[in-house]
Structure 1
Amino acid sequence: MSGAISNAPGVDTRAPSGLNLSRFRHVATFWPPVLFLALLIMLWAVLSQIGVIPGFLLPAPGAIALEFVTNSEVLMRHASATAFEALAGFTIGNLAAIVGAALLSSMPVLRDAFYPYALISRAVPIVVFTPVVVVLLGRGLPPIIAIVSFAVYFPTFLNMMRGLKSPEPDYYEMLHSYSASPLQRLKMIEFPAAMPYLFAALKISASSAFIAALVTEWIGANTGLGYLVVVSSQYFRLPTMWAAIFTSAALTLTLLAVVHVVEHLLKRYTAASPDVGA
């Protein structure tokens, strides 16, 4: 019966040529969180209006939106400082982690000596190191960038080490039969295999970078969103404080989106590239 229907004359069972199912899947994935956020803001506004949420704890959405309009210049100045600090530390820390993992992956003795301390470092809160670094480097950019670099270094380093050692032994045997050098092994099998591990670490580092920047600004800075949060809370300027918090969240989400887009483009490029040696 189904075969008769599918083969019936005049019945076109093919999907329309202009229909992009992957686009619909992306839209279906995109809209639920947006709708949830809109409903959450509406509920927040209603509860603030009827007095369920006290204004001295959480201002109404309209008050925070007005703060973005009236104090946009102040927010932009502090946001620019935090974004620069986070991006500088994010770049330095991740590059150092990638290079360090690539070097130590070919040095088993040094790798085994350093790896346990890298694991231990993840258990130590970043707040513990912040006052020490501020005392050593003073206030301003150097301690903030140093703390951010430290915060993102070890997650990326550990993930890269796992990724570089993830290829199957058969690949190493094949390259060994061709007398491949360690650099060729790194380029042809180890680094491509480590890409999923790297981007997973970069997504973690994106949020860690801004958290580290904000925490350090609380202690050793006179500018930035973290500094603005502390000062506005001391003077009970809650709309300013929450506007700074939401701005830092928006910056974090922007960096996460950039990492996701780069990962997606890299996947498309590698999928479209011909196999090596084909």
Structure 2
Amino acid sequence: MSSITVPDLAADAAGGSEPGTGPAGIPWGLVLPPVLFVVALVALWAVLSAAGLIPRYILPAPGAVLNEFTRNYAVLARHAAYTSGEAVAGFIIGNAAAVLMAIVFSYSGLLKAAFYPFALISRAIPIVAFTPLLVIVLGRGLPPVIAVVAIAVYFPAFLNMMRGLASADVDYHEMLHTLSASRWQRLKMVDLPASMPYLFAALKVSASVAFICAIVAEWIGANVGLGYLVVISGQYFKLPTLWAAIIVAAVLTLLLLALVVLAERALRRWTAAPGEI
């Protein structure tokens, strides 16, 4: 077991600040490099566009995309709201189901032996390929898109949660067994805290996958959303609208990922690896 040292306690008393953290608690050492990279990338984009080295029918100038944001803000916001609702709903449903099923499987050797191999095999199946079938079953609109996202995020979270529950320290289980602790008490005090680092690793992957799956599913099973907007814009060669929708989707993905990271930092006491405490 790891121990908490005096310097660790002093750091906690000082507010738990980390190296490179600003007065508002912002980790500038992590934030500045990607921000500067994006600024440099946009500047390079602008220079190459002005020099005519990038064809406008492939990538319009940054000014054209920016003008699209200001001119069609309401349209982008409406489609972004639909995609955000689908992605977040699927993200929550899929991960919640994964956590519950992992807990059930961890306490049932028969279920684990019967279904766990299929969960491993499912990683090789392109879930988005089932979108047409889900559209037939659920109809067009929100339900099939949410279902695609939920299924896509379910399996990474389920597999990681199973590994996390299995990683619990046996010594803790033996100690609680001698104290006549119930199965629920062992789950709450040992298994769930041990599984948190694994779960948040899966949540970060799921946050990146959720919007991608929602947008791809919208190509087939929706008539609204950023994915639908990308398809329609491409068909009518409205490239500034297409790239504006892509940028909005990227920003929304980063926001969801940031929320997961913030939740992980807030629960650091339970999500830290053993050597980090």
Q: TM-score range by the shorter chain?
A: 0.7 to 0.9
Quote how far apart the aligned CAs of 1:169 are: 1.6
Alignment map for 1:149-188 (pairs within 5 Å): 149-188=150-189
Alignment map for 1:1-278 (pairs within 5 Å): 22=19, 23=21, 26-267=27-268
Question: Residues of 2 paired with 1:38 and 1:162: CA distance?
Answer: 40
Deviations 1:252-271 (A, max 9, x none): 00000000001101115889
Number of residue pairs aligned between Structure 1 and Structure 2: 254
TM-score scaled to structure 2, two decimals? Answer: 0.88
Deviations 1:109-128 (A, max 9, x none): 10121111111111111222
Which residue of structure 2 lines up, in the alignment, with residue 8 of structure 1? none
What is the RMSD of the two structures over their aligned residues, measured on CA atoms? 1.8
Deviations 1:225-261 (A, max 9, x none): 0000000000000000000000001100000000000
Deviations 1:111-166 (A, max 9, x none): 12111111111111122211111111111111111111101111101000000010
Aligned residue identity for 2:264 = E
Q: Which moved further from structure 2: 200-209 or 230-239?
A: 200-209
Matched residue of 2:125: which SS?
A: coil
TM-score scaled to structure 1, two decimals? Answer: 0.88
Distance 1:198 1:109, change over 3 A: same
Aligned residue identity for 2:89 = A
Question: Residues of 2 paired with 1:128 and 1:240: CA distance?
Answer: 26
Question: Residues of 2 paired with 1:21 and 1:100: CA distance?
Answer: 36
Quote how far apart the aligned CAs of 1:168 are: 2.1
Question: Residues of 1 paired with 2:148 and 2:99: CA distance?
Answer: 18
Report the identity percentage: 61
* Structure 2 residues without counterparts, runs of 5 or longer: 1-13, 273-277
* Aligned structure 1 segments of 4 or more residues deviating by more than 4 angstroms: 268-271
Matched residue of 2:31: which SS?
A: helix
For the 8 Å contact 1:96–1:153, the answer to whether it is kept is yes
Question: Residues of 1 paired with 2:131 and 2:144: CA distance?
Answer: 8
